[in-house]
Structure 1
Amino acid sequence: MAQARAALLFSVVHMLGCEGAATGKEEILPPATNDRPIVGILSQEQSFYLHSKYPEENYTSYIAASYVKDVEASGARVVPILIGKPRSYYEELLKKLNGVLLPGGATYFNQSNGYADAGQYIYEIAMKMNDAGDYFPIFGTCLGFELLIILASGRGEPENRIRCYSYSNMPLDFTPDFRNSKMFAEAPDELVDILANEEVTVNAHQFCIVDKNLNAFNLTKDWQVTSYSDDDFDVQFIATIEHTRYPFYGVQFHPEKNSFEWKLSKKYPHSYSAIKANRYFMDFFVNECRRNVHTFANAAEENKYAIYNYEAKFTGVLGSQHHECYFFEPRGLKN
């Protein structure tokens, strides 16, 4: 009953918004009433480096534990979403989840039945849900943010992103209208000041989205850029973005690394201000997930899907950039 009421409320508001009665900051959102949110995190293909550390298991996919911890620190539980499944798997799972996190990583978008194919299913299903008045948020980090824009572009060739290299900690250059966004409308001034003036956002990417990527596919009406950063060669790239209609959000940097990744050579900022500022992003997203009222059938079903069924392995001691990782679906040694 609660789910039906929330969906009806959003549907009415959505229709009013399309007619211009409620737009921008005046948009009325479903109340954040779900105090037991469950967030799905999409796994991705096993990296070559991690595969070399577990050759006998030959795992199909993994999730860095820092994403799981980041979600849990904001008051939600996690369900892993596996790659390589039919569309029906994602359709059924999203009916039980309250939002999806598309994590960063180092996989490619042209591998069949992988991260990008699963991400496309999730993106299309989430759009359909929102169009039906079922408020369903997505948050993309780094690679996940790039995937959101590439999917919005039609996922054609060449991919709608550019090469850029950033392995630095940087501040954000906010746009003049960044406060007219859902992500930053209520962000405390203190946190905005830290993000704008201190080198606290962790960047680790070889691709990025720039203004010309949005312009090339007429995405500027659908996506609002709220900040930029410069890569190691002074290329200005989009650092934060959100969809103007759907509750879809993206950041090019890694808010999860400040609190939960510890490789010394990476020099991630772990200061109090860096932790405090970067916590904001997952806190914001999980609060968006509280607006969704999907549920599992019962506690037993929740437990069946939960991340707690898997053991986080200490991969940092093996030289990985990830302190811990969860691994899924071992295939064993190939003949």
Structure 2
Amino acid sequence: MWNYLWIPLLISFSKELSAAKAQSTILLPTGTGLEEPMMSPSCSAADPKLNFRPVIGIVSHPGDGASGRLSNATNASYIAASYVKFVEAAGARVIPLIYNEPPEILYNKLNLVNGVLFTGGWAKSGRYFDVIEGIFKRRMMQEIHFPLLAICLGFELLTMIISKDKNILESFKASDQASTLQFMNDINVEGTVFRRFPPNLLKKLSTDCLVMQNHQYGVSPERFGEYKELRSFFKVLTTSADSDNKVYVSTVHAHNYPVTAFQWHPEKNAFEWGLSMIPHSEDAVQVTQYVANFFVSEARKSLNRPPARKVLENLIYNYSPTYCGKAGKGYDEVYIFAQPSAL
């Protein structure tokens, strides 16, 4: 008798199990299930207006990135590997633009790239300043699509160059500091670096400390507004505050050119570990990826198609990075370039 009572229960359980399996079935994109053979998909042709092999030029910075502990060569310069990985993660290759190599070589390399990145650092005068200014002005004078991304020192140098005032920078206490980004009230992110950020991540940028600051100088919104040249070239997207709650401009985007500049470091979240306050959360790493994707997507619009052999001869793959994480706080890896003699 008791055995017969279990039969309805078993039937009910069997039906529920079958229903659960049906709900968990993963359908292929055709929606026909697994029982039908897959047909070979027809891939659409690549957009001929886009360059799917973009190359980014990164300008080297004086020194070895570790205060001489890695190289004491007088003419050494370096590129932090994090900038290279940042570009590569978005689908581009890198050619180093060694700032103190002969000008004819440097500018020939500039003709091989689809965009340029100005890195962080400390150099604000001399040959390095002249090279940054020369690259910026040369590309702005040409009527071609040529994206430029300037980070930290790069941001500061652009404000000096565009304002024509080498004393424009103010002091701020924002070394080894994670911060938020406060968006300007009337800003429209369409067409800017923030255009692809999902709404929830944009919101978190203003509430969570997702960006890395590491600078002692900057430009306040008030000082920025005093210069007609800056206002006519850039629109301010965000501001941030230092440890004394002093506000500075943290993100700008050019009105009429594909030029974006950050006072913060988008590359560090995913690729640097030497400073204690670098954000490494999933949201922070997404910030790195969205910025890199934006920059390289702009480089794909470049019409420059240099000879493939010339590109291969100058790629950063021809150099080896040096691990410097044990040499002190700062970068984890750097590419070091030493010129044979003073020029």
Q: Same fold (TM over 0.5)?
A: yes
Q: Deviations over 1:106-163 (max 9, x none)?
A: 22x122x22x11111110111012xx2x111100011111111111112x44x22111
Question: Quick check: 2:66–2:330 contact (8 Å CA) kept in 1?
Answer: no
Unaligned runs of 5+ in 1: 1-29
Q: 1:304 Cα deviation (Å)? A: 0.9
Q: Counterpart of 1:61 in structure 2: which amino acid? A: S
Identity, % of aligned pairs? 30
Aligned-partner Cα distance in 1 for 2:237–2:131 = 27
Evaluate the alpha carbon distance shift between residue 328 and residue 259 of structure 1 in structure 2; reply closer, same or farther with a 3 A threshold. Answer: same
TM-score normalised by the chain length of structure 2: 0.80
1:222 paired residue number: 233
State which of 226, 240, 259 in structure 2 corresponds to 1:248. Answer: 259
1:164 paired residue number: 172
Aligned-partner Cα distance in 1 for 2:294–2:338 = 31
Aligned-partner Cα distance in 2 for 1:84–1:311 = 19
Secondary structure, in 3 states, of the residue corresponding to 2:91?
Answer: coil
Secondary structure, in 3 states, of the residue corresponding to 2:161?
Answer: helix
Aligned-partner Cα distance in 1 for 2:207–2:82 = 25
TM-score normalised by the chain length of structure 1: 0.82
Q: 1:268 Cα deviation (Å)? A: 1.3
Unaligned runs of 5+ in 2: 1-46
Aligned-partner Cα distance in 2 for 1:48–1:313 = 10
Evaluate the alpha carbon distance shift between residue 90 and residue 215 of structure 1 in structure 2; reply closer, same or farther with a 3 A threshold. Answer: farther
Q: Counterpart of 1:67 in structure 2: which amino acid? A: Y
2:131 paired residue number: 118
Aligned-partner Cα distance in 2 for 1:45–1:52 = 14
Q: Counterpart of 1:235 in structure 2: which amino acid? A: K
Question: Quick check: 2:66–2:327 contact (8 Å CA) kept in 1?
Answer: no
Q: Counterpart of 1:72 in structure 2: which amino acid? A: E
Q: 1:217 Cα deviation (Å)? A: 2.2
Q: 1:73 Cα deviation (Å)? A: 0.3
Aligned-partner Cα distance in 1 for 2:53–2:305 = 9
Q: Counterpart of 2:202 in structure 1: which amino acid? A: V
Aligned-partner Cα distance in 2 for 1:43–1:94 = 13
Evaluate the alpha carbon distance shift between residue 223 and residue 48 of structure 1 in structure 2; reply closer, same or farther with a 3 A threshold. Answer: closer
Residue 96 in structure 1 maps to residue 106 in structure 2: no
Q: 1:252 Cα deviation (Å)? A: 0.8
Evaluate the alpha carbon distance shift between residue 182 and residue 88 of structure 1 in structure 2; reply closer, same or farther with a 3 A threshold. Answer: farther
Q: 1:291 Cα deviation (Å)? A: 0.7
Residue 51 in structure 1 maps to residue 68 in structure 2: yes
Question: Quick check: 1:61–1:82 contact (8 Å CA) kept in 2?
Answer: yes
The two structures, once aligned, show a CA RMSD in angstroms of 2.2
Correspondence list, 1:1-335, <5 A: 33-46=50-63, 49-55=66-72, 57-85=73-101, 87-107=103-123, 109-111=124-126, 113-114=127-128, 116-129=129-142, 132=143, 134-154=144-164, 156-157=165-166, 159-167=167-175, 168-183=177-192, 184-218=194-228, 219-263=230-274, 265-298=275-308, 300-331=309-340
Query: Number of aligned pairs?
Result: 293
Secondary structure, in 3 states, of the residue corresponding to 1:52?
Answer: coil
1:23 paired residue number: none
Question: Quick check: 2:196–2:290 contact (8 Å CA) kept in 1?
Answer: no
The structure number with the bigger radius of gyration is 2
